[in-house]
Structure 1
Amino acid sequence: MTWLRDLGLGIRFAAAGGREGWARTALTAVGVGLGVALLLVASSVPHLLDERSARDRARAEGAASWNGKVEKSDTTVLRIGADTEFRGQVVTGFLMRPDGAHPVTPPGVGSLPAPGEMVASPALKELLASPEGSLLKERLPYRISATIGDAGLLSPGELYYYAGSDTLTPSTGGHRVGGYGDRDWSDELPPALVVLVIIICVVLLVPVAIFIATAVRFGGERRDRRLAALRLVGTDIRATRRIAAGEALFGSLLGLLAGAAFFLTGRGFVGEVELWGHSAFPSDLVPAGWLTALIAVAVPLAAVLVTLAALRSVVIEPLGVVRNTTGRRRRLWWRLLVPAAGIAVLALTGRVDEFTPVNPYPIAAGAVLVLVGLALLLPWLVEAVVQRLRGGPLPWQLAVRRLQLTSGAASRAVSGITVAVAGAVALQMLFAAMGDEFERMTGQDPSRAQFTTFSEDVSGEAAARTIEDFRATEGVETVIGTVETYVTKPGTYGQDEMQPTTTLTVGDCATLKELAAIGSCKEGDVFVVHPKGDKEQADWIDETARKGEEIELNSSHGLEPGAKSMLWTLPAGAPTVRAGLDPLGKEHWGIMATPGAIDPGTLPNALITAQLRVDKGVEDVAEHVRNTAARIDPAMRVTTLTSVARDRQYASVQTALRLGAVATLMLIAVSMLVSQLEQLRERKRLLSVLVAFGTRRVTLGWSVLWQTALPVVVGLLVATAGGLGLGAVLTWMLAKPVTQWWLFLPMAGAGGALIVAVTVLSLPLLWRLMRPDGLRTE
């Protein structure tokens, strides 16, 4: 009962302690609330990812459709992917043609659109209706008949559509779909990415925990003076500490409510926020029940424990006297043991290979110990540094003297950024070391061509016209356009015999010179092209490409119903040349001919590819290229050439890191600002005295800057050393070499930016506190 009475008294002081008591309680509630809100967001991530994955699977075509085992029926649908890209945003779409009167529909779609119509996501509908989407409207000239419901979208900002078609057939690339959502696939992360995800979670959440622990100590000096008054009326030391715990408990409980309010308020707007092309439905942001309960219990408990631990370092006596204990310096040895223990745990965990399941607990424990150890080491280092500083300009002396008297508050404010920067440095080292594993060289040459197109529905005369349409497109400088088909050696062959086959590529002289080592070329020429260094393949080509002999065009390879095969004689004087690499990095061999030698219109089952070099100075040149492709064939694929390809899962983890880093840095900035404002309010009377004695405001402003900068600089040095050490151990665990040691420089720059931002934002309160009425007391 005594405990409860004292805690209740502390709660009464916090709730009814006048303006000063409410100010401290409000600061604590806001600080704790921000941390709780971020913890609630973090605890919602598993549910968000599960819901997103469930919707993704629900709209995926079934396993039977994927395997090509669906027979035509009244419910089946022909469809083909018609994805495109618009100003860096992916637009996902499908052309749909029902086989019967009752076609199956994907989630979020009531009925399939008629030819010339489409069902679009709300974001795509809004984009097409805006002036910014006029170029995309040319590419998607369908009338929007309905919108896709949330059940059929991954996020509210997703650009997605289904368009109706009356020309789609299996021969033009359409495949039959009999249902959605019954296909199950495994998309497990590789062990290296599992380690990366674990470290990301640790790096993002440990600063939040430190911030909450710092927030419950806001207004400590005023609290100690109130406790001293209680000692004067006869309260003993233990009761005083329990009363202080009650104040902290009340502030933390208000913080829980504030965090829930922040979370629920921000949750309503999350659908309108998009970072790096990613957003989320508010309904997906639901914290896990057990994690919510853990937060509700852990935060007040941590507030009480932190307060009791803080009171052990001060002596509270009657008559309003509060003084720090003397003769007891911070000890270094146990602070070094914590990060050393973390390194030892990681080292004992051993190396991670691709065949062994990853145990996340020792990795997470080791990383937490290292980062928390850095936060514990920071107060000792700040105290050791400032105690040795002497002299300098007046603002510098004021800042140094203040830090010499009370460096603990400054260290606590900086501990969050220390941990965040150290974790970020380690993560960046890990990403750099893993980059070679998840990024590969494609062999493509973006200097020769920037785009490539491919279509299965362009044949005959349309093939030649396609190349001309691309050449007439605004911003296109060069088109390497080819019409390709298979040709075979005529004759009758047994069931076990392989009919000699090779490719026939038709293009103009400029195109053929890009694909093979051709010197002289004029219209009507034909060439036999051998691959480099592959004599067996060259002999196989010569089996079909017999000079002066007939070859069979439009053979049984993909021959359309009703199409007739025809014979064509390969000129006897056709020279033999060596193959070269196209901009995609691929070799082309077989027979190459100019349109004067063979009419592409006689190749009804041919495929066309076009590789385009464009003038990058032309505005929206990529959109003009895609619009031309859509006019030729709505399902034509347009891809951008790149020299490096990045693994999709690796890119997703990197995106998650960016999103989390933004949230954590914002929290740290708010933490430092709130702590700075709280310290200024604590020193209100001292500032007024200095102004009354003639101290200039500029001097005090610079003093505030140095008081912020000194601990941050020490913290950044600790973070850099600790981050490099942690990163080196993690890369060793993955059996990777450390490729970059200078990745801490951007994070150091971010720390410097935070110093300036916090100082500038705290100046208005500083000017207000330096008025003479600050000397008034009661």
Structure 2
Amino acid sequence: MTSALRDLAFGLRLAFTGHRPWGRLVVTAVGIGLGVVVLLGAATIPNVVAAQAERENARNPVAPGDAPGVGVLVAHSNMLELGQTYVRGLQLRELRPDAPVAPGLERNPGPGEVVVSPALQELLRAPGGELLRPRLPAEIVGVIGEDGLTGPGELFFYAGSDSLSPRSDRVDGVVDHFGESGQYGTTAFEPDAQLLLLLGIAVLLVPIVVYVAATARLAEAARQRRLAAMRLVGATSAQVRRMAAGESLAGAVLGVALGWLLLVLVRPAVEAAAGLGELSIFGSDLRPVWWLALLITVGIPVLAALVTTTSLRGSIVEPLQVARRTAARPRKLAWRLVPVVVGLLGLLSFGISGVSSTGGTQGFVASVVLVLVGVPLLLPWCVERFVGRLGGGSTAWQLAVRRLQMTSGTAARSVSAIAVVVAGVIALQTLLGTIGSKVADPVPEPEVTAGPLTIESGLPEDPAALERAVKELQALPGVLAAHSTESTVLASDNSRAQWTVHIADCGQIAALAAVPECADGDVFAATPDQKTDHLAGTALLLSNSYYGEADRPTPERPATWTVPGPVRPATVATTVPGNYPDLLVTPAAAAGIPASTQQVRLEVELAPTASPDLIERIRNVAAAHLVEPSTSGKAPSLGSDPKEQRDAALAAVRLALLAGALVVFALIGCSLFVSAAEQIQERRRPLAVLGAVGVPRRTLWQSLLVQNAVPMVVAAALATVTGLLIGVLVVMAEGEGAVIVDLPGMLGLFAFAAASVLVVTALSLPAASRAARPEGLRTE
């Protein structure tokens, strides 16, 4: 044990000594640190989801069960709309002084008061926020604390009220505390979405692990020469391995420490950026899962040590191979194919049988990971075989090709992570393109800029409120017409049929349907066969949820209404929404329907040139006079139809994939640059000789560009083939039909790869120019 520790300590000392050790050590630590912070960020995802679910649970109102009438009365969870933005909230009414206080508050708001989240406060202050302000109580008395929000960007409010009835069906009920674990404890993903999410995580994280492993082998040639010299002077194979492990541990441990420091430093920036959109994360929630953090903290140094000692296998067995700088033996293909073949066979089996269970999903993702891990194993062999067949050409070409033939392994490792991310993203793009083509609507619908808008709400207690709402709506610029009806949903005694009953006078009925002569007391029905004689005298159950305290139905006293006769046929206009057959009833005939069971429906005709903010003004009018109004229909600011929303969601996922790939490219670009700089450092003498004999700088620069571009071309070709194979098998497993290749997305990835080659080459030019100076020979 003492000897092993001595060897490790000697390896650590080697990392801090020698020619320019700090530059090499810092570069290794920075590369590993960047990879570690990405892995630690991924390890925080479970805790972020759990923390958001815990806060959601904490403000969930819970009924006491056996003790009604105590605590806090909580209204329906309100949902307000402002364009495409949704604002949630809870209305509270205290029934006792000791009522529990909602999470994030010092006290519950009183009647007419509202407490808003910081993001909602900013929204109300922003341009356009004044359109939402009328729908909130008059006075904002505070800001919700962190305990009452799922994230810094959540739009949420608590509002006080004194009009909520403990027995009204319009409220969630009487509660005595907040917080019910398990209510929101898990995030429900559709199977397809869950599979897509897991594949996305694998595609973006596997390249990071490959990148960390490649970073651990920076300055490998110099390390091999030093340790091979140790072997020549008498060090045993085991001692050399321990020395190599100790040297690599220095950079890996510093990199892990740097990764943790970066995670702490980026928390405020993540909170500020995530709070701007739908993604909303508190910086305090960015805590990695302990066992994942331990695995990363311990596993990365172990991985670095294993990669380093594995790379020395030739030097330990035959140290003169390094000392003489001879060409390495050709790489063998058989063992490199094992992960790819196993992964593809797994994907093929899932493609035949499908992905159904959770275990099946995990096995499917594991198969994808195996194929992705096989890419960096195959790439060195592919690069070696490709450059081995390249022949003569210009001077720059021959310089680059000869260098690649001597160090093809280093060139392949520098682009291996890029090959993995390109293969994975191509596979996901293929799946998304296939899904998008499958759900696309082949028949374009005519564009509708505006149309009828429907407002539904409970019947207000003040009979004049509905009339005032109609008048104010008609006075809004852009509103062509507005009329109202009262309705309820009824079911027959045998519950086999349901009816939407519209209560309106004859003038309103004439606007809604084609009917014969009408008088107060008449009843009309819209039926497919126009047969209505059997409806007269039918007893219908009141199935609407808007019940008051006095007429709440019970099993002993069900609420019913008998259809008066005669019932005449009517043809209902298409502007009357509803999924049930319609009964059009005049006020005298509807006398037996309790007012509190009725709801109001307003039809608003909008001008085609109506302004986009008209819908918000309509909502404000409805909120001022009606009970919990909701809007539906086509209007300028209601947003896109389901197909457009679906297409937008797919486009957003594609954009997120490209953005993630760009981030990984930027991260791996650091490794490319460092690898290029290290090779230039190792080639100081040959470059100085070329400069001394008069080789133009332009030739050296062209050689450097070819040297960076050729491995990238091979990596892109291998990644394309692998990515398409994965994509086809994933589509087969999902049963999505014909495979659609996303050519624009692939071109975008290739553009990223080409840009990385150009940027790395440009950054390497100054170092190559300095190394090519003839005076560099005097320093050797």
1:80 aligned onto 2:76: yes
- Residue 157 of structure 1 and its aligned partner are, at CA, apart by 1.6
Q: CA deviation at 1:692?
A: 6.3
**How far is the alpha carbon of 1:93 from its aligned partner?**
1.4
Given that 1:352 and 1:358 are in contact with CA atoms closer than 8 Å, whether structure 2 keeps it comes out as: no
Contact 1:488 1:555 in 2 (8 A): yes
Q: Is the 8 A contact 2:355 2:364 kept in 1?
A: no
CA deviation vs aligned residue, 1:293-340 (integer Å, no higher than 9, x gap): 2222221121111112222356986799452534x3223333333211
Q: Give, in whole Å, the separation in 1 of the partners of 2:601 and 2:678.
A: 73
Q: Distance in 2 between matches of 1:451 and 1:718?
A: 55
Question: Mean Cα displacement is larger for which, 285-294 or 392-401?
Answer: 392-401
Q: Is the 8 A contact 2:429 2:654 kept in 1?
A: no
TM-superposed CA distance for 1:358, in Å, is: 2.7
Structure 2: which amino acid aligns with 1:386? V
Change (3 A) 1:723 1:247: same
1:425 touches 1:747 (CA, 8 Å); kept in 2?
yes
The secondary structure found in structure 2 opposite 1:155 is coil
Question: Aligned-pair distance for 1:166?
Answer: 3.2
Instruction: Report the number of matched residues.
Output: 748
Q: Which amino acid aligns with 1:294?
A: L
Distance 1:241 1:455, change over 3 A: same
* CA displacement, residues 243-277 of structure 1 (integer Å, 9 cap, x when unaligned): 33322111111111111111122234332121751
TM-score (norm. length: structure 1): 0.80
**Residue of structure 2 in register with 1:421 after alignment:** 422
Q: Unmatched 5+ residue regions in structure 2?
A: 553-558, 633-637
Q: Quick one: which of 150, 156, 159 aligns to 2:152? A: 156
> Structure 1 counterpart of 2:262, which letter?
F
Contact 1:673–1:758 (Cα < 8 Å) also in 2: no
Mapping for residues 699-718 of structure 1, pairs under 5 Å: 704-718=704-718
1:383 aligned counterpart, secondary structure: helix
* Residue 214 of structure 1: how far off its partner (Å): 0.7
Cα distance in 2 between the residues matched to 1:157 and 1:362: 36
- Contact 1:688–1:774 (CA<8 Å) still a contact in 2? yes
Long gaps (5+) in structure 1: 546-550
CA contact (8 A) 1:26 1:251 kept: yes
Shift of 1:424: 2.6
Distance in 1 (CA, whole Å) between partners of 2:667 and 2:544 is 71
Of 466, 471, 492, which residue of structure 1 is paired with 2:469? Answer: 466
Which residue matches 1:279? Answer: 280
Output the CA distance in 1 between the equivalents of 2:349 and 2:310.
Answer: 32
Q: Secondary structure at the match of 1:83?
A: strand
Q: CA deviation at 1:759?
A: 2.7
In structure 1, distance between residues paired with 2:528 and 2:697: 78
How far the C-alpha of 1:416 sits from its partner, in A, is 1.5
Alpha-carbon spacing, 1:352–1:488, altered in 2? closer, same or farther (3 Å) = closer
Give the deviation of 1:161 after TM superposition.
0.7
Partner of 1:255 in structure 2?
255
Give secondary structure in 1 for the equivalent of 2:179.
coil
Displacement of 1:775 in angstroms is 5.6
* Alpha carbons of structure 1 residues 486 and 138: separation in structure 2 relative to 1, 3 Å: closer
| Per-residue Cα deviation, 1:622-659 (whole angstroms, up to 9, x for no partner) | 544544444445843346475438999x9999999987
Q: Distance in 2 between matches of 1:15 and 1:271?
A: 38
Name the SS for the 1:770 alignment partner.
helix
Residue matched to 1:504: 502
**Partners of 1:192 and 1:352 within 8 A in 2:** no
Deviates more, 1:159-168 or 1:423-432: 423-432
- Structure 2 CA distance for aligned equivalents of residues 197 and 647 of structure 1: 19
Tell me the residue number matched to 1:311.
Answer: 312
Pick from 151, 174, 190: which aligns with 1:177? 174
- The C-alpha deviation readout for 1:111-163, integer Å capped at 9, x for no partner, is 21122221112222233345564444444364322222222111122111111
In structure 2, the CA distance between the partners of 1:554 and 1:392, relative to structure 1 (3 Å rule), is: closer
The equivalences for 1:688-767 within 5 A come to 704-734=704-734, 736-743=735-742, 745-757=744-756, 759-760=758-759, 763-767=762-766
Distance in structure 1 (CA, Å) of the matches to 2:607 and 2:703: 56
The answer to whether the aligner puts 1:146 opposite 2:142 as a matched pair is yes
Q: Distance in 1 between matches of 2:522 and 2:776?
A: 95
CA gap 1:80/1:585 in 2 versus in 1, 3 angstroms: closer
For the 8 Å contact 1:454–1:638, the answer to whether it is kept is yes
Question: How far apart, in 2, do the equivalents of 1:406 and 1:210 lie?
Answer: 19
Provide Cα deviations, 1:274-297, integer angstroms capped at 9, x if missing partner: 175112122222222222222222
Structure 1's 462 and 167: CA in aligned 2 closer, same or farther, altered over 3 A? same
- Change beyond 3 A, Cα 1:286–1:660: farther
Give the match for residue 457 of structure 2.
455
Residue in structure 2 matched with residue 548 of structure 1 by the alignment: none
What TM-score does the superposition give when structure 2 sets the normalisation length? 0.80
Q: For residues 727-755 of structure 1, what are the alpha-carbon distances to aligned partners after superposition, in whole Å with 9 as ceiling and x for unaligned?
A: 33334334x13444213641441342243
Q: Secondary structure at the match of 1:102?
A: coil
After superposition, the Cα gap between the structure-2 partners of 1:552 and 1:707, relative to the gap in structure 1 and judged at 3 Å, is: closer
Per-residue CA deviations over 1:679-703 (Å, capped at 9, x if unaligned) read 1343153566666666666665565
**Contact 2:505/2:520 (<8 A) preserved:** no
Contact 2:336 2:377 in 1 (8 A): yes
Q: Distance in 1 between matches of 2:136 and 2:409?
A: 62
Deviation for aligned residue 1:29: 0.8
Would you say the 8 A contact 1:268–1:282 is kept in 2? yes
Q: Deviations over 1:221-244 (max 9, x none)?
A: 333444466567665666445433
Deviation string 1:174-231 (CA, Å, 9 cap, x unpaired) is: 3423032236448555555554444334323211211110110122233344446656
Amino acid at match of 2:754: I
Matches within 5 A, 1:209-358: 209-227=209-227, 230=230, 239-274=239-274, 276-312=277-313, 321=323, 323-326=325-328, 328-348=329-349, 351-352=353-354, 356-358=357-359
DSSP-derived class of the 1:100 partner: coil
Change (3 A) 1:83 1:523: farther
Q: Which amino acid aligns with 1:456?
A: G
Tell me how far apart the structure 2 counterparts of residues 702 and 114 of structure 1 sit (CA, whole Å).
75
Structure 1 pair 539/697, CA: closer, same or farther in 2 (3 Å)? farther
Look up the match of 1:672. 669
SS in 2 for 1:718: helix
Distance 1:256 1:403 in 2: 32
Asked whether the 8 Å contact 1:93–1:163 carries over to 2, the reply is yes
Specify the code of the residue in structure 1 equivalent to 2:713: V
* 1:24 Cα offset (Å): 1.2
2-side partners of 1:617 and 1:752: how far apart?
43
Rounded Cα–Cα distance in structure 2 between residues aligned with 1:643 and 1:332: 53
CA distance in 2, matches of 1:237, 1:481: 92
RMSD: 5.1
